[in-house]
Amino acid sequence: MLAGDWRGIKGQTYAVDMSSAPLELTVGFDLDMTLIDTVPGFRANLLALGSELGVEFPVEEMTERLGPPLDLLLAPHLAEEAVAAAIDRFRSLYPEHSITSVPAFEGAHEAIAAVRRHGGKVLLVTGKFALNAQRHVDHLSLDVDLVAGEVWGVGKAAALVEHGATIYVGDHVHDVEGALAAGATSVSVLTGGCTREELVEAGTHVVLEDLVQFPAWLDEHLLDLRLEALAADLAARGSVVVAYSGGADSAFLLAAAVRALGPDRVLAATGYSHSLPEAERDPARAFAASLGVRLVTPATHEMDREGYVANDGDRCYFCKAELTEVLGEIAAREGFAFVATGTNADDAVAGFRPGIRAAAERGAVTPLLDAGLTKEQVRAGSLRWGLPTWDKPAAACLSSRVAYGISVTPYRLGRIERAEAAVRRVLETEGLVVRDLRVRDLGDRASVEVDATLLAGPLASGAAAAVRDAVLAEGFEEAVLDPRGFRSGSLNDALR
């Protein structure tokens, strides 16, 4: 296997327990020669101990393969009855000789940060005396949740199992033993004394050169697991109607459903109303056609719902209620088992999302959320599958541009859509590429949000006036460029 190839060793596969919730992630790390280069401190401490005891330890030999417990390292060089006292003295000397001289390996902090980025917990499971292990953690500011010390080999499994670790990262064959005994994925780095061949022979699942490679491996590993969970979920559903807006999330869900069920057991359904921009419709239709999926476009009548028009803060509840009720009727009529929405794991923790509640109350399922897939992972999965929507900008409905407390009307939505199209034309004329653009309707005043990177360039001068004129021409009495740039859900600030 080539260095850095983390997709498996010699084609072997390994079982992963998918019974726990995919959102749960706990990663265990070994300490010595995995997170930290213990050799300088260990060498200094051995020399100090040997000087006190009058013993000349073979320091270089003893530091070649750090990891085993201290008693195993000292026993060959001391009388049996002297080992316990020597261990106590070694530990008492340790803070003076072995903390400040020991650095973290390159990539150690980033590896831990990668776990945090995925919402995970970090365990330190080490053979080192726990108090001294904690001293290293404090000195090097290693962001760990718990330190379990004085455990070795298969003994590490108890701590890993107790705290739900599904991955254990180490450098020694005995770290591999602990991971396997715990049923965890064993990730080995070559920064310790064990060779690649020894680690593979011990049964490790993955070998990395060092922790620098760990974040990329973790990203791929979690994406693999969550795509497997998504496929299993969809296959178990039997058939689905996908609430399909054409955005990145629903397009990915549609593609995943086709992969898991086949196009004949999947129906794409796009609710047509004043809130769906005309510009989104043809690309959405073309994408569904490319998957071989039938697309239906029922009219939805959220404008008939008083709560939607009133726009008092829970507008999305009434919109999603209308959509899921309409799609539920279609599913029942055409024999599809479930209505599925593209809600992802980030949506579930994003705060105020009344639409999610409305869909859940009406029996809609959320396969992306249930598999633990975040927005970033949806995009990564879409790129892996070659979907053209992998980098599509967020495209919330037009009603999301209307400030809360201002009634939603077809006129307002049409004015917003025309204004955004006009701004895009102005920017294209200026040779500017805009990714995210919103014209927020604040009544008779419009607030224009564009990518913040554009604000300091041409939009700081003449182009800004052209943007404002384009918006005014579509029926607003006043228009301003928001100096903070585009911010997803910026109107929700008023609710806070």
Query: CA dihedral in degrees (201, 204, 209, 210; nearest 10)?
Result: -140
Q: What is the pLDDT of residues 104-158, one digit of tens each?
A: 999 999 999 999 999 999 999 999 889 999 999 999 999 999 999 999 899 999 9
**Closest C-alpha among 103, 128, 129 to residue 40:** 103
Give me the residue label for tokens 């009603």: 399
Q: How high is the mean pLDDT in each 10-residue block of the chain (496 residues)?
A: 31 32 81 91 80 80 74 83 83 83 95 96 94 94 96 94 97 96 98 94 98 98 97 98 95 98 98 87 94 96 93 90 96 97 88 84 96 96 96 87 93 94 92 90 93 80 86 95 87 67
Q: What is the pLDDT of residues 298-334, one digit of tens each?
A: 999 999 999 999 988 889 999 999 999 999 999 999 9
**Closest C-alpha among 369, 400, 420, 402 to residue 489:** 400
> Could you tell me where in the chain the CATH 3.40.50.1000 domains are found?
26-37+103-221
Name, in order, each residue with C-beta under 8 angstroms of 216's C-beta and a sequence gap of 6 or more: 6
* pLDDT the model gives residue 495: 61
* pLDDT the model gives residue 351: 60
* pLDDT the model gives residue 461: 65
At the fourth CATH level, the homologous superfamily of domain 39-97 is: Putative phosphatase; domain 2 (1.10.150.240)
Q: Take residue 316 and report the two structure tokens written for it.
A: 């999305």
β-bridge partners, 26:
121
> Could you tell me where in the chain the CATH 3.40.50.620 domains are found?
238-395
Rounded Cα distance, 239 and 264, in Å: 9
Domain 238-395's class? alpha beta
**Closest C-alpha among 107, 356, 334 to residue 241:** 334
Could you tell me which CATH number the domain at 399-495 has? 3.30.300.10
> Could you tell me where in the chain the CATH 3.30.300.10 domains are found?
399-495
Q: Take residue 199 and report the two structure tokens written for it.
A: 């680690």
β-bridge partners, 446:
441, 479
- Please write down the HEC assignment for all residues of the chain: CCCCCCCCCCCCCCCCCCCCCCCCCEEEECCECCCECCHHHHHHHHHHHHHHHCCCCCHHHHCCCCCCCHHHHHHHHCCHHHHHHHHHHHHHHHHHHCCCCCCECCCHHHHHHHHHHCCCEEEEECCCCHHHHHHHHHHHCCCCCEEECCCCHHHHHHHHHHCCCCEEEECCHHHHHHHHHCCCEEEEECCCCCCHHHHHHHCCCEEECCHHHHHHHHHHHHHHHHHHHHHHHHHHHCCEEEECCCCHHHHHHHHHHHHHHCHHHEEEECCECCCCCHHHHHHHHHHHHHCCCEEECCECCHHHCHHHHHCCCCHHHHHHHHHHHHHHHHHHHHCCCEEECCCCHHHHCCCCCHHHHHHHHCCCECHHHHCCCCHHHHHHHHHHCCCCCCCCCCCCCHHHHECCCCCCCHHHHHHHHHHHHHHHHHHHHCCCCCCCEEEEECCCEEEEEECHHHHCCHHHCHHHHHHHHHHHCCCCCEEEECCCCCCCCHHHHHHC
* pLDDT the model gives residue 350: 66
Give me the residue label for tokens 């930290």: 36
* pLDDT the model gives residue 19: 35
Rounded Cα distance, 112 and 35, in Å: 10
**Closest C-alpha among 243, 249, 252 to residue 395:** 249
Which sign does the torsion angle of CA 119, 124, 125, 130 carry? negative
* Alpha-carbon distance values, 434 to 399, 420, 424 (Å): 21, 11, 7
Half-sphere exposure of 81 (CA within 13 A, CB side): 0
* Alpha-carbon distance values, 415 to 188, 277, 440 (Å): 58, 11, 11
Architecture of the domain spanning 26-37+103-221:
3-Layer(aba) Sandwich (3.40)
* pLDDT the model gives residue 16: 30
Contact present, 258 and 372 (Cβ < 8 Å)? no
